[in-house]
Amino acid sequence: MSTPTIHKGLAGVVVDTTEVSMVNPDTNSLTYRGYAVQDLAAHCSFEQVAYLLWHGELPTPQQLAEQNDAERSQRALSTDLVETLLALPDTAHPMDTLRTAVSILGATDPTEDVNTVEANQQKALRLFAKLPAVVALTQRRRHGLRPLTPRDDLGFAENFLYVTLGEVPEPEIVRAFETSLVLYAEHSFNASTFTARVVTSTLSDLYSAVTAAIGALKGPLHGGANEAVMEIFTEIGSADRAEAWLQQALPEKRKIMGFGHRVYKNGDSRVPTMRQALQEVAELRNGQQLLDLYEALAKPMYAAKGLHPNLDYPAGPAYHLMGFDTPVFTPIFVAARITGWTAHINEQLAANSLIRPTSVYSGPAQRAVAVA
Ligand code: ACO
């Protein structure tokens, strides 16, 4: 028997086609349904991008108005859900709270097991509408504050900031936040999206697929990196210490969070747009020291390892300056990526084939059971 080639970590393995987005590492480009992500960030609201990911086309004004009405009317969490989430221990990471919230929202949805593309569209919108309130709850409880009632007179990004921070910040901050949501919305067959597709491929329900995806995103090699970037910045302290810190960290084989990418080897296509957004937030929020640290670490990192920053590198400090606590950075990523995940879940469901790879056995040779 010939020895099969093993693709550790599925690196370079093409498992399916997708119409949702295209990552092109040769040209450092990312498109959603054919539109460059930079153009979407510059010209579209996050609600428009969500519609595009779900339906394949940008919405007409009427389609957008209908989606907005449906989204705004579902933003509030039930009292039962709020009290259950607040009963979790203070030590629970906000990602655990989010994962639990999605699981409860599934268990309380009478259509949970109606596994059709149409029913999933409604479930996707429901989660899209409610996740900001869950993220907000996790931050506010950290400060001893009760949840706020979402406002249906505000757009998605404005309301998200309002329910979390208690006020709608300057339009430039709202725009920078919305940019981050657009950039985080979708990224092809990344680990969490693939997880969602694996679960869907067993014909399990959307809430189960999203719950599993949240688990995959939590890890620091994936979405958890935006929190880890801020922890590293705190550890380093100031720009003048960055190079010496790196010279000590690299020989210790530490992974420097916010750098490197499985697909992009010449730079993450989303970083210039988010770096610009970070700059705008820093100007308004006295963030020059953080910007200096950003550059002071990025330059020697590239010189030492040839590694470029990924999206989490500018997103982490931008969220910090906007007023978010570090443990809610990855939950914000979830509230954005729910759009891409659910687009993929429906794409998988519409042309399903069970995802089930094989492996090469490397344990002991077959042996007899000898029980004493
Ligand atoms: N810091 C230090 N060394 C690194 C880093 C890093 N961030 N990234 C890669 N390397 C090194 C590895 O140690 C390895 O070196 P070696 O060959 O001497 O052992 C080499 O580069 C290849 O690294 P792999 O981990 O095999 O590369 P892979 O393509 O599998 O990894 C990954 C991609 C997991 C993202 C990696 O770059 C990493 O761990 N980065 C830090 C975590 C991070 O920022 N994740 C966010 C991803 S983007 C997102 O989710 C929005």
Q: What is the pLDDT of residues 146-185, one digit of tens each?
A: 999 999 999 999 999 999 999 999 999 999 999 999 999 9
Position in ligand 1 atom list of the atom nearest CA 270: 51
* 88 & 159 share domain: yes
Greater confidence, 26 or 204? 204
As beta bridge partners, residue 24 has 29
Using the mean position of ligand 1's atoms as its centre, give its distance from the Cα of residue 296 in Å.
19
* 84 & 176 share domain: yes
pLDDT category of residue 135 using cuts at 50, 70 and 90:
very high
In whole angstroms, give the CA distance from residue 171 to residue 156.
Answer: 13
Q: Does some domain include residue 12? A: no
The pick from 247, 255, 271, 273 for probing ligand 1's pocket by mutation, whose C-beta has the most ligand atoms within 8 angstroms, reads: 255
Q: Does some domain include residue 310? A: yes
The pick from 257, 261, 274 for probing ligand 1's pocket by mutation, whose C-beta has the most ligand atoms within 8 angstroms, reads: 261
The pLDDT score that the predictor gives to residue 117 is 97
Q: Which amino acid would we find at residue 33?
A: R
CATH number for the domain spanning 150: value is 1.10.580.10
Using the mean position of ligand 1's atoms as its centre, give its distance from the Cα of residue 261 in Å.
6
Q: Annotated catalytic, 261?
A: yes
* 250 & 190 share domain: no
In whole angstroms, give the CA distance from residue 83 to residue 146.
Answer: 11
Report whether pLDDT(352) > 80: yes
pLDDT in tens, 2-59: 778 999 999 989 999 999 999 998 888 999 999 999 999 999 999 999 999 999 999 9
The pLDDT score that the predictor gives to residue 25 is 86
DSSP 305: H
CATH number for the domain spanning 265: value is 1.10.230.10
Q: Quick one: how far is CA 372 from the chain centroid?
A: 53
* 93 & 198 share domain: yes
pLDDT in tens, 308-329: 999 999 999 999 999 999 999 9
Position in ligand 1 atom list of the atom nearest CA 256: 1
Q: Does some domain include residue 360? A: no
- pLDDT > 90 fraction of the chain, expressed in percent and rounded: 94
In whole angstroms, give the CA distance from residue 306 to residue 183.
Answer: 24
Q: Does some domain include residue 370? A: no
Q: Is 279 exposed, middle or buried (0-12, 13-18, 19+ CB in 10 A)?
A: middle
Short-list 284, 333, 283, CA closest to 312: 333
* 298 & 332 share domain: no
Q: Does some domain include residue 367? A: no
Which range marks the domain in which residue 312 is found?
224-321
Contact residues of ligand 1, CB 6 A cut-off: 9, 221-223, 225, 255-262, 305, 307, 310-312
* 214 & 229 share domain: no
The pLDDT score that the predictor gives to residue 372 is 83
Q: Does some domain include residue 3? A: no
Report whether pLDDT(189) > 80: yes
Of 261, 308, 320, 344, which is the active-site residue?
261
Q: State the chain's mean pLDDT as an integer.
A: 96
Report whether pLDDT(220) > 80: yes
Greater confidence, 285 or 27? 285
| Closest residue CA from atom 37 of ligand 1 | 260
Report whether pLDDT(279) > 80: yes
Q: How many domains does the chain have?
A: 2
Of 222, 312, 320, 344, which is the active-site residue?
312
Residues 70, 50 contacting (CB under 8 angstroms): no
* 27 & 63 share domain: yes
Residues 6+ apart with CB under 8 A from 300: 242, 243, 246, 247
The pLDDT score that the predictor gives to residue 343 is 98
Using the mean position of ligand 1's atoms as its centre, give its distance from the Cα of residue 18 in Å.
25
Residues 122, 71 contacting (CB under 8 angstroms): no
Report whether pLDDT(224) > 80: yes
Short-list 372, 269, 298, CA closest to 29: 269
The pLDDT score that the predictor gives to residue 365 is 97
Using the mean position of ligand 1's atoms as its centre, give its distance from the Cα of residue 257 in Å.
8
Using the mean position of ligand 1's atoms as its centre, give its distance from the Cα of residue 221 in Å.
8
Using the mean position of ligand 1's atoms as its centre, give its distance from the Cα of residue 294 in Å.
18
* 41 & 190 share domain: yes
Residues 120, 345 contacting (CB under 8 angstroms): yes
Report whether pLDDT(1) > 80: no
| Closest residue CA from atom 23 of ligand 1 | 260
| Closest residue CA from atom 19 of ligand 1 | 253
* 172 & 39 share domain: yes
| Closest residue CA from atom 35 of ligand 1 | 261
Position in ligand 1 atom list of the atom nearest CA 268: 48
